Structure 1
Amino acid sequence: MRVHMLLALLVAASLLSACTGPSAEEEIYEHLEKAVTLEDTFREQQQPMVDLESEEQQLYEEIIDLNMDQFEEIKEKSQEAASIVEERREKLELEKESIDAAKEEFDKIEPLVEDLDEENTDAKAKAEDLIETMNGRYDTYQSLYTAYEEALTLDKELYEMMQQEDLTEEQLQEQVDKINQKYNEVIEQNESFNQHTEEYNTLKKELYEAMELDVTYEETDTDREEDDSSEE
């Protein structure tokens, strides 16, 4: 199944006004919003990934429409599709680097939570919930990344198999089944990731309110496009 990850993104906010001086509240805000910015590269890979997936899927469909009398063409298209898989892998690595950098920035708020006004127990509780949710979001992304990377490896193996003249229909179907199963896992992990992100965005807004920060939110496109064609 050729399904691109629908990855939700963090919602950015702009600080309108706050107390003077580097308060814990302001420092937490700065780290959280910098984390959003660090996910820009993550977001920028979306459309290129969708385009590459569509291009690869088109090649796959062209390959399976050919017969063994056209083996040289099968081989050529399979090599081209395999190169696209590697391009997708490069985009995936850029996405992961972006997520990792954002998480590293986010982690800087943990020591600041203890510095929040002791009387503002609501803000502290929201901050702790936010940390727990972000940790869950990050862990889910790692599982999502692993599943997607494994799916790419299976894709690459498929196109290498297609370059073998003695490939049997049974072997081909077995590999396709593995690929579809792995992409189903990608979808499941992606849904969990999106749920964590939605919860995170809600909690972040509630935290800003509890810290009495005057902010305005700039909503961005939070999902990726979906390419739901399948390999059969």
Structure 2
Amino acid sequence: MSKFRFAIILGVAITVLMGCVGGSSPQENIHKVLEETVAEEKQYVEVQKPLQGLEENEKEIYTEIMNLGMKEFDKIVKLSEDALKNISERTGYIEKERKAMKEAKEKFSTLDEFITKLEDEKLKGEAGKLEEIMKDRYQLHEELTASYLDALSQDKELYELFKKKELTMEELEKQITSINEAYEKTIKLNNEYNTKTEQFNKLKQGFYSTAGIDVEEKE
């Protein structure tokens, strides 16, 4: 039973209104890399809504099962199969998200070559902080997805248990405890990831301001 909604604070897409004059400066190239990185994360953004919908559906299934008695075992088995299908779909979405983030990380890795070309020390320092925060963000995302997949695995075990006629209360309580622990870890990582994303967005706007790049924010 999912106790965690996989809602992540996302990066903000930026459209340049007025760049620096005089061709592709290092700061303009950094801006380009940042926007291409946002574009690579588009698939990651797109999976959030269906993923949340599936989580709500699984929560409803769990509640219905818990309200049924063993005299309705056949219905419990059918609902458990529905939940297992739900978990499989969510796993697919998470893997798609992980792939998108990996591609975004690869795009972002090209930033360093442009940071080294910055002559302004203040700009270089701000860009360096941006790079450090983003690397931490990607590391946290990988830990977050791994934790979430582990929680889904624990959910799967629960619904397999529901299909056992001889299921004991002790077995059920033990598995629910494992699930709660898995989701608590996931929620903690989710909060840390959101914090890093917020820090990155703030630093990015600061960098653009220092670089003299006027931008328009869009969701």
TM class by shorter chain equals over 0.9
Paired with 1:211 and 1:72, the residues of 2 have a C-alpha distance of: 65
| TM-score, scaled to structure 1 | 0.90
Match of 2:7 in 1: 6
Match of 2:131 in 1: 131
- Counterpart of 2:65, as a letter, is I
2:132 aligned counterpart, secondary structure: helix
Paired with 2:217 and 2:5, the residues of 1 have a C-alpha distance of: 27
Contact preservation (8 Å) 2:6, 2:51: no
2:45 aligned counterpart, secondary structure: helix
Contact preservation (8 Å) 1:24, 1:115: yes
Deviation at 1:212, TM superposition (A): 1.7
Paired with 2:24 and 2:135, the residues of 1 have a C-alpha distance of: 26
2:17 aligned counterpart, secondary structure: strand
| TM-score, scaled to structure 2 | 0.95
Unaligned runs of 5+ in 1: 221-232
1:121-140 deviation per Cα after TM superposition (whole angstroms, max 9, x unaligned) = 11000000001100111111
1:142-175 deviation per Cα after TM superposition (whole angstroms, max 9, x unaligned) = 1111110000000011111111111111101100
Query: Which stretches of structure 1, 4 residues or longer, exceed 6 Å deviation after superposition?
Result: none
Contact preservation (8 Å) 1:126, 1:207: yes
Deviation at 1:21, TM superposition (A): 2.2
Paired with 2:68 and 2:22, the residues of 1 have a C-alpha distance of: 70
Paired with 2:13 and 2:78, the residues of 1 have a C-alpha distance of: 45
Indicate whether 1:54 and 2:56 are aligned.
Answer: yes
Paired with 1:96 and 1:20, the residues of 2 have a C-alpha distance of: 38
Paired with 1:30 and 1:92, the residues of 2 have a C-alpha distance of: 27
- Counterpart of 1:11, as a letter, is V
1:163-218 deviation per Cα after TM superposition (whole angstroms, max 9, x unaligned) = 11111111011001100111011110011001100000011111112222222222
- Counterpart of 1:123, as a letter, is L
Deviation at 1:55, TM superposition (A): 0.8
Indicate whether 1:207 and 2:207 are aligned.
Answer: yes
Aligned length: 217
Paired with 1:43 and 1:28, the residues of 2 have a C-alpha distance of: 22
Higher relative CO (Cα under 8 Å, sequence separation at least 6) belongs to 1
Indicate whether 1:190 and 2:198 are aligned.
Answer: no
- Counterpart of 2:70, as a letter, is M
2:109 aligned counterpart, secondary structure: helix
2:186 aligned counterpart, secondary structure: helix
Q: Percent identity of the aligned residues?
A: 34
Note the 1:73-222 alignment, pairs <5 A. 73-116=75-118, 118=119, 120-218=120-218, 220=219
Deviates more, 1:169-178 or 1:20-29: 20-29
Alignment RMSD: 1.1
Unaligned runs of 5+ in 2: none
Paired with 1:149 and 1:20, the residues of 2 have a C-alpha distance of: 48
1:38-60 deviation per Cα after TM superposition (whole angstroms, max 9, x unaligned) = 11111111111111011111111
Contact preservation (8 Å) 2:7, 2:48: no
Contact preservation (8 Å) 1:5, 1:186: no
Question: Quick check: which one's helix share is greater?
Answer: 2
- Counterpart of 1:198, as a letter, is E
